[in-house]
């Protein structure tokens, strides 16, 4: 019997198939794993949304720079004395939205001005309506409620105060999400020596007037969380975004309970990834499984802020460092370090399906944003 001639060269496609098949036969689990996980190099390629930034400059640099990393932005206005006045923040973000509707969205807020008067609710509803008319996709309530704002009698006003009920009822009726930042990291109520992350230790050591451990006359951490939870019990249909991991950043177990108790709530990760890294150093699998189980309830966010006078290139360098290091922690199993914790830790290596939700589709669903509408259709 004649032997068939052996071809002198394989086609490129045939050769490539042979390489892939050989690699699969040698290590099938490795090849399959590569298909289900992103690498560090995939960072810029993926469509992403940073769900919590602060654009406090009318210039377009922040949007333009984010586009270089394939990020869309959701900027959050807040009644914070170190930021421009609330009306000015709205002007800035509304203008940026008009200029960049495919790259930028924003959340409005309301002030506590006129609290305790008969006109307060009416004026806050008008403030909310004005923000949404300008394009706001959510409303923010900040930690001044519970930590600094006092009524005429000198009492701190907590977020479950009945005075807020008509306003939060209105948000519920309008199906408008509420972004809530109540309290501070739990470390704020601990001695510096017992704090978990380096940035909290440094900050509260340098700012003792904000260190609640030194101010027992103020509401406790538990008071802040209980007040927030009672407010949510009163508004079960309200879409609630717990900013900064709902101030439960210290425990994925506590976060899980919060999410189970509040089916309409999600959390964003803004400025709290260090606390997550710290926990994963203690119990890696518990943290990883939390992200997988609650993959539909977590939004990627950073709290990056861009202000007038800030160098665009300096901001880009800072933002790219934050965005890339966060990506490596969430998407890869690389051995990493950060400025938040001492020592090395391993990336969570979340599957592509989980990363896609945390970095984009959860924000699209929760905020009903059309940032990626042109790609969706």
Q: Are residues 32 and 56 in the same domain?
A: no
pLDDT band at 43 (very low <50, low <70, confident <90, very high): very high
110 in a domain, yes or no?
Answer: yes
2 in a domain, yes or no?
Answer: no
Q: Are residues 64 and 24 in the same domain?
A: no
Report the C-alpha gap between 317 and 178 in whole angstroms.
Answer: 31
Q: Are residues 168 and 91 in the same domain?
A: yes
333 in a domain, yes or no?
Answer: yes
- The model carries a pTM of 0.90
Q: Are residues 316 and 170 in the same domain?
A: yes
Which of residues 35 and 294 earns the better pLDDT score?
294
Q: What is the reported pLDDT for 372?
A: 81
Mean pLDDT score of the chain, rounded to an integer?
91
242 in a domain, yes or no?
Answer: yes
271 in a domain, yes or no?
Answer: yes
Which tens digit of pLDDT belongs to each residue from 146-158? Answer: 999 999 999 999 9
Residue 23 lies in domain: 11-39
Q: Is 322 helix (H, G, I), strand (E, B) or coil?
A: helix
Q: Are residues 95 and 33 in the same domain?
A: no
Q: What is the reported pLDDT for 33?
A: 53
Q: Are residues 239 and 212 in the same domain?
A: yes
Q: Are residues 26 and 161 in the same domain?
A: no
Q: Is 223 helix (H, G, I), strand (E, B) or coil?
A: helix
* CB atoms inside a 10 Å sphere around CB 52: 27
Q: Are residues 147 and 288 in the same domain?
A: yes
Q: Are residues 111 and 126 in the same domain?
A: yes
Q: Are residues 77 and 26 in the same domain?
A: no
Q: What is the reported pLDDT for 314?
A: 87
Give which of 145, 49, 366 is closest to 238, Cα–Cα. 366
Q: How many domains does the chain have?
A: 2
Q: Are residues 185 and 259 in the same domain?
A: yes
pLDDT band at 27 (very low <50, low <70, confident <90, very high): low
| Residue 110 token pair | 């309301």
CA angle in degrees (0–180, nearest 5) for 150-153-154: 40
35 in a domain, yes or no?
Answer: yes
92 in a domain, yes or no?
Answer: yes
| Residue 258 token pair | 């919060």
Which tens digit of pLDDT belongs to each residue from 203-235? Answer: 999 999 999 999 999 999 999 999 999 999 999
Q: Are residues 19 and 72 in the same domain?
A: no
What element of type H or E holds 242? strand 240-242
| Residue 300 token pair | 């990627």
251 in a domain, yes or no?
Answer: yes
């Amino acid at each position: 019997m004649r032997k068939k001639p052996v071809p002198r060269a394989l086609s490129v496609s045939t050769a490539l198939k042979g390489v892939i098949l050989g690699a699969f036969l040698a290590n099938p689990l490795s090849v399959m794993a590569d298909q289900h996980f992103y690498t560090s190099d995939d960072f810029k390629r993926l469509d992403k949304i940073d769900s919590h930034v602060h654009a406090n400059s009318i210039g377009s640099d922040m949007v333009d720079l984010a586009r270089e990393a394939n990020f869309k932005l959701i900027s959050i206005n807040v009644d914070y004395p170190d930021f421009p006045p609330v009306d000015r923040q709205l002007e800035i973000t509304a203008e940026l939205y008009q200029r960049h509707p495919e790259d930028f969205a924003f959340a409005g807020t309301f002030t506590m001005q006129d609290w305790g008067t008969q006109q307060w609710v009416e004026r806050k509803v008008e403030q909310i309506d004005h923000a949404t008319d300008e394009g706001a996709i959510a409303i923010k309530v900040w930690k001044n409620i519970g930590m600094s704002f006092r009524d005429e009698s000198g009492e701190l006003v907590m977020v479950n105060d009945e005075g807020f009920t008509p306003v939060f009822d209105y948000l519920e009726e309008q199906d408008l999400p509420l972004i809530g930042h109540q309290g501070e990291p739990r470390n704020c109520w601990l001695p510096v020596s017992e704090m978990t992350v380096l940035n909290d230790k440094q900050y509260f050591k340098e700012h003792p007037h904000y260190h609640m451990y030194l101010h027992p006359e103020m509401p406790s951490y538990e008071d802040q969380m209980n007040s927030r939870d009672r407010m949510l019990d009163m508004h079960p249909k309200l879409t609630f975004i717990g900013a900064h991991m709902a101030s439960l950043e210290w425990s994925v177990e506590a976060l899980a309970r919060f999410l189970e108790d509040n089916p309409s709530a999600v959390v964003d990760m803004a400025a709290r990834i260090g606390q997550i890294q710290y926990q994963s150093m203690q119990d890696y699998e518990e943290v990883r499984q939390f992200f997988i189980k609650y993959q539909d309830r977590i939004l990627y966010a950073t709290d990056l802020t861009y202000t007038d006078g800030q160098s665009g290139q300096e901001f880009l360098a800072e933002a790219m460092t934050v965005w890339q290091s966060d990506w490596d922690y969430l998407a890869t199993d690389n051995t990493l370090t950060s400025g938040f914790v001492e020592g090395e830790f391993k990336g969570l290596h979340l599957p592509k399906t989980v990363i896609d939700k945390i970095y984009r589709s959860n924000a699209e669903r929760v905020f009903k944003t059309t940032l990626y509408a042109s790609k969706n259709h």
